Amino acid sequence: MKETLLHMLKANENEYVSGQDISNVLNCSRTAIWKHVSDLRAAGYEIEAVQKKGYRLLRSPDAVTSEEIMLRLETERLGRKIHYYPSLKSTQEMAHHEAAKADEEGMLVVADEQTGGRGRLGRSWHSPSGTGIWMSLILKPRIPLQKAPQLTLLTAVAVVRAIEKKTGLAADIKWPNDILLNGKKIVGILTELQAEADQIHSVIIGMGMNINQKLEHFQEDIRSIATSLHIESGKEFVRADLIAAVMLEIEELYDIYLKDGFGLIKLLWESRALSLGRRITARSLNGTVKGLAKGITDDGVLLLEDDEGRVHSIYSADIEISTNE
């Protein structure tokens, strides 16, 4: 209901929408309308109410609420069910909880702020309120366990394409899950699984996107490695617009992936990858390997040729790209 009201106000921006029209569409009383208007005001919308004229929307906040995303969403399946939280420890943690209960895929968990955002290997992800996009998408593909990393690469391509469409900025992908702008991290992707034996039950794709942060929003320890769309362009972006664009890109690529496999996604990924053909250092729990990044396999595994000509399959690691070679 609140969503329909917002839709009506936005469709008639700068004009009054009469209480009678609203109550006809929503099929509710004037008191109920007033309650919805109060809720929207509490969420940051400036709505003018004038007797005999009706309601007029003056300003919308840069919110990542379900209503703001839904207004912009063009997907068929993904993101059609949204759980929004003003503040949450981690959308990833909440999505795990939801994924275990749901049979359908496509649910999106979004938070305006995360107090315990997670990166890989127990690292933390800085997620201040009102600035970035912190969200987790639940997918339920029928694919074998070892193919799950392909979805991280698919997501990286989708996010890069969405950023380019909405901002004109061309970001690069650093295997496996970082998206960089001018060499600094703008997006982190965390893919986690719920599986039984060899069967995937759910894939939970966490995305942390730095959008409107200024440099001082970042903690000192990451200022030299992190950036935001605002820092790189000087502009401010509507976060819900970017969320809708990311959902659309993921859905398009995911449909291709389910129908035709990883082939096209792999090509798209390779065309955006920073590390291929470069000398890199891969650090993982199993040790450090240095060498030439030869490519990725059809499962999304990185192939690294060391100085003795041996090719290593790297499943998970932090990559450092040599700058002088």
Q: Which residues bind ligand BTX (CB under 6 A)?
A: 90-92, 114, 117-120, 123, 125-127, 134-136, 177, 185, 188-190, 206-208, 210, 222, 226
Specify the DSSP element, H or E, that contains 178. strand 178-181
Q: Angle at the Cα of 173 (from 169 to 178), degrees rounded to 5?
A: 105
On whether 185 is known to bind a ligand per the annotation, the reply is yes
Q: Which is nearer to ligand BTX, 116 or 263 (CB)?
A: 116
Q: Which is nearer to ligand BTX, 58 or 225 (CB)?
A: 225
Are the C-beta atoms of residues 117 and 188 closer than 8 Å to each other?
A: no
Please report how close the Cβ of residue 208 comes to ligand BTX at its closest, in angstroms: 3
283's CB contacts (< 8 A; 6+ apart) are: 317, 318, 320
Q: Which is nearer to ligand BTX, 60 or 210 (CB)?
A: 210
What amino acid occupies position 67? E
Please report how close the Cβ of residue 33 comes to ligand BTX at its closest, in angstroms: 35
For 105, the 3-state DSSP assignment is coil
Q: Which is nearer to ligand BTX, 150 or 155 (CB)?
A: 155
Tell how far CA 197 is from the center of its chain: 29
Sheet arrangement for strand 184-196: 82-88, 108-114, 133-139, 199-209, 184-196, 178-181, 172-174
Please report how close the Cβ of residue 69 comes to ligand BTX at its closest, in angstroms: 15
Tell how far CA 91 is from the center of its chain: 11
176-181 contacts at long range (C-beta below 8 A, 24 or more positions apart): 176/149, 176/152, 176/300, 176/302, 176/316, 177/120, 177/152, 180/274, 181/227, 181/229, 181/232
Please report how close the Cβ of residue 94 comes to ligand BTX at its closest, in angstroms: 8
Please report how close the Cβ of residue 105 comes to ligand BTX at its closest, in angstroms: 17
Please give the annotated binding residues, written as ranges: 114, 118-120, 185
